[in-house]
Chains A and B, each alone.
Chain A
Amino acid sequence: MNIQEPIRTPKFLDWDELVQEDKVHRLIYTDEAIFQEEMRKIWGGVWIFLGHESQIPEKNDFIRGKLGLRPIILTRDSGGKIRALYNRCTHRGSTVCREDKGNSKSFACPYHGWSFFNTGKLSGVPWPEGYSCDFSESKFNLAQVPHVKSYRGFIFGTLNLDAPSLETYLGGVRAPLDEWLDRHPGGTVAFCDANRLKFNGNWKLLYDNSCDGYHVIFSHRSLLAMENRQKVGADAAKGMAFYKNSPDNGPMFLKYFGNGHHYKDKRPALEKRPGALWEIEGPHPGMEHYEEKLRAKLGARADEVLDLASSEPININIFPNLHILGNHVQVSQPVSLTETDTTWWGTSVVDDNDQLQGCADDINALRMRTQESFPNFGELDDLMNFEQIQIGLTAEEDEWVYMHRGLGINDRITHAANGTIIAPSTDEVFLRETMREYKRLMSVEPNLAIKRDPN
């Protein structure tokens, strides 16, 4: 017998209807009005990753960026303070900065020549005798994101006056982030150009995928085959091969921390010893030469150093736009309802105290190549799948997107006392919890504000 589903019209912005325990409505990916609400309630209301301190190391350095869709300038001002200025002239609204990056003490608006210091203050207006107003009023200074804070080099901003502190917002996800940073000399990295990708799909499709261990052997089937095409004899399986067979029965797991943050840890599938990471690296340009060179130079210590050129097998996902995976820092940026940029910043090792005995350049030469692999041979297939979801979801009558893997199975998911949730690596609990948080954020009006420095 055929089962017929009547076609219904969902109640608009009824969040209990749109986001349920086991499924979400297609409208959250396809509706323009919901997207506009997200730009306010999420991309204005929570801490958003804006940039890394290594992108603006010196006073007066700046990069151009976005907070949601708002054009901003992230700068280290002439006094050394990091600010996120609205890239919007207070006269008639033109952008005042049109370069992606640079070093400048001030920004002059190309339209009528108003100019601003990089503290946001108005520095001058052409022919002021034609004005009767008092230009020392702060309303003529550039607007700024009221809260801008760094966590170990990662700069975040929010418009929400009631936002918790950045530390509190990050919460439990700080632990894997700290571990990821601490494996590097000096506990830090520098951004060093990027693999810049984009896809025609809603930004959430990327976030939904970020902790997904279910898709790996299907979506990345060509990469898995590629990484192991030359495998001979007893060589360890390379790359993502630890997803083969039944990944749920292995030691990998995922963890949900609250506030939409989660991470997947593949390290338990590896032996805990120096060199274990390097051993499972797939083939990369120069690896044999540099390995030989580093072994000759460092002897027994080479394994530990080579691990720094290897991808750290974790995914750390900080809601809504920051992902750390392998050695990349992946940042996502909505462009429109159905278009998203995803920039995979490469990171390099900074070894100011020579902890690597002069080998940092060699490690970086290797590390650049290990990092290019996944965006070239893996991510493109995911992005195509996201685009095809966006197309599938245009089917209006077929309403639901399911995310119930693991739901209702006894003993599969552990709720720890501190509120974190631990599950097997293919579980969709991270998605259900993120959607619960999304629903909470979308159901309330945040207390947003801009600020302007007084004169």
Chain B
Amino acid sequence: MNPDLMNSDVHERARLMIALFGEERPGPEELSNAERSWLAAHLESCASCREFAENSRETIRLLRAIPITAGERLVSTTQMRVRQRAQELQRQQERFWVVCVCCAAVTLSTLVTTPVLWRGFAWMGEQARLSPPVWEGGFVVFYLMPAVLAGILLLARGTFLTDHNGSYQD
């Protein structure tokens, strides 16, 4: 027997059964045969619970009869909004992929060019009779210059990320 129904007094138990399982509902939420016969016997003898059962049925019927419908305008506006948002998300995703591809290309070209550049700086240092720390310093500055410049430009634009993610909901 349903343990929730065990501790209440008989009328309360009958009414809880009616409220929860009074309708014919398929599936695991049906009352067991024993509970069903107990409830039937109780309703037979208890006018007050019988009234509760009738009132419950009528209340549920009326609840279902309350007409609330969405208008066509709401549906079409929503569909349009969702499509617009989908396009925004699509564009964001495309931008994300472009950034990913650019990052991959930069990484690859860095891996290829760094040793060549290093040897080039070493050769120029030798030709100009510079000590290794000097041409090595020159290499580091030359190497980092694009990243530093890009950083400064991005900072100058200030709200770069907020501008581009402004429409991003949490």
The finding on whether chains A and B are genuine partners in a shared complex, rather than unrelated, reads no
Residues of B in contact with A (beta carbons under 8 Å apart): none
